[in-house]
Amino acid sequence: MLSFLVPSAALLEKHRFRTRHGTGVLIVTPDRETAVHISGLASELLAGTLYTVGMVIEGANRGAEEQKLDRGVNLLIATPTRLLEHMRDVTSFIYKNTKAFFVYGADSLVEQGMQKQVREVISLIPKKGRTSGIFGTEKTDRVEGLVELVCRPDAVRITSTATGTTNANASTQTQGYVLVEADKRFLLLYSFLKKFQRKRIVVFVSSTPGVLFCDEAFGSFDLSVHAIHGRQNAKMRAAAFSSFVNDAEGTLICTEEAVQGLAVSFLPPHPSPDCPRF
């Protein structure tokens, strides 16, 4: 995420943005938890500067968001639908000075059918002199259309490959799944964690409330549990992850978005109690 947040800070400095100039950098992401994560990192990066960071996402207080936009947000993180609502309805929202437009998680945006919203957002912001980019996305045919929409034809493409780490999708890895009725998933997961409680295990769930529920429930059963979710700031997430890594055993309950950016140097078992998405 620093790959676009650092250039964002540089652009704000280059153009000497202040709150009266409105939004200079616009970052679109598919879900609120990723937005919260990015917002936390951006706030830490720009701490001590005059640049303002804001976020508009589904489920948040819309009136409070409007007040922030009215005061001026230099770096704005948003989900597409809520962003469009504000662009249409909040006359004091200044986005005519946007110098950069970044998309994080384009594959999820495409999966959720948000290309139309992204296209409309792009049509409303300045094109001339704008820096654009897509990050945190696997290259697929489905995403290619969004890449062509956001980026210029001569855009530089960089593929990041990790070295010296375990490949989660390597053919040497044994992967499997279990079909179970919804009301039995928690019991199955508990029995799995209980049986292998002397190992380190990562459990991915789909939402922050799910993480909080599992953290409290499994903790009450005397299981060693660490939780990472979107309501924590970057320091809290890093501390929880470090504690999990340094323990000889235990379970990490988290959302995929919340652990992005944390360096995982090993691959423990990682069940997901949620239904797969197609």
What is the model's pLDDT at position 266? 45
Q: What is the pLDDT of residues 71-119, one digit of tens each?
A: 999 999 999 889 999 999 889 999 899 998 888 877 777 778 877 888 8
pLDDT value at 250 more than 50:
yes
What is the model's pLDDT at position 27? 92
CA distance 72 to 75: 9
pLDDT value at 209 more than 80:
yes
Per DSSP, the three-state class of 89 is helix
User: CATH topology of 2-150 equal to that of 163-278?
Assistant: yes
Calculate the alpha carbon distances from 97 to 12, 32, 225 in Å. Answer: 11, 25, 46
pLDDT value at 5 more than 60:
yes
Q: Does this model's pTM top 0.85? A: no
101: which DSSP letter?
Answer: E
Domain boundaries along the sequence of the chain: 2-150, 163-278
Name the CATH superfamily for 163-278: P-loop containing nucleotide triphosphate hydrolases (3.40.50.300)
For the domain with range 2-150, which CATH number is right: 3.90.1150.10, 3.40.50.2300, 3.40.50.300, 3.30.70.20?
3.40.50.300
**Considering the chain, what percentage of its residues have pLDDT values greater than 90?**
14
